Amino acid sequence: MSPRRRFGALALVIGMSVAGGAYAQDPPPEEIADQPAPSIQDTPPNILVVDFDWVIRQSDAAQSVQNQLNEERQALQDRFAELEADLRTMEQELEAMGEDVSDEEQLERRREFEQLVANTQREAQARRSILDQAFREAMDQVRDATVRAIADIADNAEAEIVLNVNQTVIYSRDRNISQQALDALNEQLPDVEVELPAQE
């Protein structure tokens, strides 16, 4: 009988004894002494430890993703720096308009300028959102590959449990498979291409 079923049977016996009251009879002491002590588990589980976040940060794939995003962010910053310079020039021209331009024309140009500013801000925000989404999707690929690499190592080691280091207090150093996981991840997924939609 398994420990769990043995515990359940014991609980049932205890329940019957309480319910039976005076009709329940205790077994003789010699019978209790002859019963084997319950065993929770003969051998401890094979447990491995991994620093999941460290593996991802150090991986070639994650660094390739970060490099691509840095390039895209720099290109975005350069592009909108030029647009901001053009907007400042337009604003200065609006302020320099003299009496030879009617109030109606000044108002119309001011409206066009404000609309252009609003459109530029929306475009910048939309492009940043696209970059953020692309970054998340690329990093999801890295995380999935990391889990697969760890699972392969655990399977080869016949491990029953893999814990993240932040879930442990003390562990043996030879239980830590972080470097193995990193090496396996770099071999399986050396880089990830960040997919960005074409700009219109």
Query: Hey, what are 172's tokens?
Result: 């043996």
Mean pLDDT of 86-103: 77
Task: Dump pLDDT digits (tens) for 23-71.
Answer: 345 555 555 556 555 555 567 789 999 999 999 999 999 999 999 999 9
DSSP code for 38: P
3-state secondary structure of 163: strand
What residue spans define the domains of the chain? 3-34, 47-188
pLDDT given at position 108: 82
Angle at CA of residue 151, ends 170 and 158, nearest 5°: 70
pLDDT given at position 40: 52
Mean pLDDT of 103-109: 80
pLDDT given at position 111: 86
CATH of the structural domain 47-188, one choice from 3.10.150, 1.10.3470, 3.30.910, 3.30.1380? 3.30.910
Q: Which residues contact 112 (CB under 8 A, 6 or more apart)?
A: none
Query: Hey, what are 122's tokens?
Result: 């929306």
Helix extents (H) in the chain: 3-20, 29-34, 52-58, 60-96, 103-156, 178-188
What's the predicted TM-score (pTM) here? 0.66
The residue with greater pLDDT, 118 or 42, is 118
